[in-house]
Chains A and B, each alone.
Chain A
């Protein structure tokens, strides 16, 4: 089944404790992206990657890191989480070309930073 998977789905952590949220897609998509969703603000892009070893900042990259060593995986790293990073996070991927407008989202990761 074609899908985007994220782990963990739920995470409660404490300020300053490094964490990684994994994202994997099995559709051979080149483009992958991370978003956070907060009430009243909609989804905001954190980082995106156009292909392996090619990443760039989105609108709200502060406090986050990403890597793209393989086409299928795009982990999101929080080196020192803070309470303002409590949010719902979505990973997404899309195919190249004209179909790239359609983004396929993972199920989301709900993160709470105490």
Chain B
């Protein structure tokens, strides 16, 4: 079983739609959680950290459920520019040890 699992998609949605991605992690000792965004053939970039209380950044909302070992990302009012692959990332103990999910691809169409 992969340590971080994501639905690979693709999620094809129209502009303006709300879309949600889910991610599960297997290591209960995981300490920090993130969503990274990766455009096609480009490097990953941090989108947002995920806190236990949930957090929001503009159209993006991240939630963490430690009991279920589950992380989510909600994107409201999707834009064409949101088309990318979204990587769920978990830090497990250790110094800077990050575990990446394989990513969920989002395609927003006009």
What residues of A have a CB within 8 angstroms of the CB of B46 in the complex?
A: 102-103
Q: Which of B59-67, B69-77, B96-104 lies at the interface?
A: B96-104
Instruction: Give the residue name and chain of the B residue nearest to A102 (CB).
Output: B46
Query: Number of A residues contacting the other chain (C-beta, 8 Å)?
Result: 23
Report how far A106 CA is from B43 CA in the complex, Å.
6
Residues of A within 8 A of B95 (CB): 31, 50, 100
Q: CA separation between A75 and B74, bound complex, in Å?
A: 38
Checking A43, A101, A102, A107 against B100 with a beta-carbon cut-off of 8 angstroms, the contacting residue is A43
Cβ of B87 < 8 Å from any Cβ of A? Answer: yes
The size of the chain B interface, using a CB distance under 8 A, is: 22
Question: Are the C-beta atoms of A90 and B44 separated by less than 8 Å?
Answer: yes
The answer to whether A42 touches B103 (Cβ under 8 A) is yes
B101 CB contact (under 8 Å) in A31, A42, A107: A42
CA distance A31 to B101 in the complex (A): 21
Determine how close the nearest CB of chain B comes to the CB of A6; give it in whole angstroms.
9
A-B contact pairs, 13 of them (CB 8 A): A41-B102, A42-B100, A42-B101, A43-B87, A48-B96, A50-B96, A100-B96, A101-B91, A102-B46, A103-B98, A105-B43, A108-B42, A108-B43
A: residues with CB less than 8 A from B are: 31, 33, 35, 40-45, 48, 50, 88, 90, 94, 100-103, 105-108, 110
